[in-house]
Structure 1
Amino acid sequence: MWKKKTEAEDMRLVEKNGVPYFVFKNLENTGLVRHGFSTRLGGVSEGFLSSMNLSFTRGDDPEKVRENFRRMGTAIGFETKDLVLSDQTHTANVRRVTEADRGKGFDKEKDYTDTDGLITNVPGLMLVTIYADCVPLYFVDPVHKAIGLSHSGWKGTVHRMGKVTLERMAEEFGTRPEDVQAAIGPSICQDCYEVSEDVAEAFMNEFADHQDDQLVYRKDNGKYQLNLWRANELVLLEAGIRPEYLTITNVCTCCNHELLFSHRASHGQRGNLGAFLGLK
């Protein structure tokens, strides 16, 4: 059993065809999407990439990565030809994905860079972002039948990536935040996430109105512990997401490094996890 920070059951681990992955109850209940968040289990990669590495940039055999994606597709319910992968560089850039993007990053070259968020209203496309401690953000607009999937590390969070994604969905699809079902996925918890003073100051400045939330606390060694889960929760609530429409993870990647890839726990010797979201 993995270590959970709370007893909330709005996110659960399922397994299909030997591939375990996390799903979110509120996203499932829309009936509109196929989605999941991978673990490091159920794939064919070897060594420190074992076994479900979903990145072509970690030194893995590309054919093993492709097989891992195929296995995720069999479990979640998508074909690899429908994948559209991000190009993450810790920005707050969000790209609208169209039919012309089908397959990019998997069997077609990407013609975009510096893209940490993807949004679409095209059924059948499967959006993918990758992780090894940073925060996955899922968005489903059941009114306009549109979705968003964004990667939010500390830089993305301090630049309010969740808000930016919702604003882009509003511009492109007419999305209203109060209609959106959202989820904050498995990522590093505050107890595990030590940061330097400059990072802590960036958060204290950006979230100055939330000092009581203890987003950051200082340790005796002069370092700070940062709460990315709560920071992203505040971003989404202030952007207009209803509290009852928001699922927040209770699973830390670093605490559960035997189940999930963690950059911190492995000192950089790791593969990448994948977040998947697609309209049926």
Structure 2
Amino acid sequence: MDTATVARFEASRNRLACLAYRLLGSAADAEDTVQDAFLRWQAADRDHIEVPEAWLTKIVTNLALDRLRSAKLRHERAVGAWMPEPLLDGDPMLGPADTVEQRESVTLAVLTLMERLSPVQRAVYVLHEAFSYSHAEIAEILGITESASQQHIHRARRRIAAARNGIGIDQTSARRIVEAFIDAASSGRTEQLVALLTADATGVSDGAGGSAEKLIRYLNPEQIAAAVRAGLKPSAAKRRLAGGTPSIHAGVVNGCPAMLFTIDDRILGVTILEMRDDKIAAIRGIAAPARIARLTAQWQRQEHDAPLVESW
């Protein structure tokens, strides 16, 4: 390919990666999908492609759907160890955040609930809500009718409604929320931590990295409070496992306030707090190295605030 042809693809790469990430919930899979699309672009008869952006959107969407339908991916997600891959605020793969729908489409809550949708429902939801494609355009991309696209979006919205909150979290508000959470967790009083949680709050963790083969779930505020208090209590054994004494920073991850545990500019783990009505509705703890590799890389490229806890 000549330079101009490569440049034409590269001009769309970030948007295509944003699309693939929302469809797959994995930055690594999204990057692989976009690279597969580049190979298709390389092999295509480009003289007959009238609108390259539309052609590439169709290719990436359908490549992502093929991945979602693959037996290997279905097995990986069915065994109970799958979590969406977290992304730090400012990561270009998060894409546009101009509307409520665009912001919500990358929250871990929505990405998790989209696992309950069929691949086509998931594609319709992402294309319509996050990228503002019309039902006529979606029908052409997916090879379905406009009425089918409309039915899919209604069903998807109903299933995802529980995760929608419409709020926008910035660094200042994230720092305030995380600071209150740390204060409550270190107070020694379980009820102070429970008071920050909704009555139906839930939690999930990959076990501080571990083998990450099975997620640990917490089904009520009391279980969450006990786990958080135990997890945030420092000890010599935990510091040896971490390889030193971590600092705790506040940040924004997938549009939610988050605690970032770091050593030497390397993220050891992240705890994400999902908000609803000014309370914490869900907590996700992620530390498996494969899940936070991109998060760490983005952290190292950005400037960040002073830690809330200098030496844990």
Is the pair's TM-score, using the shorter chain for normalization, greater than 0.5?
no
When the two structures are superposed, what TM-score results if normalisation uses the length of structure 1?
0.24
Choose between structure 1 and 2: higher helix proportion.
2
Give the TM-score normalised by structure 2.
Answer: 0.22
More strand by share: 1
Q: Which has the higher contact order (CA 8 A, sep 6+)?
A: 1
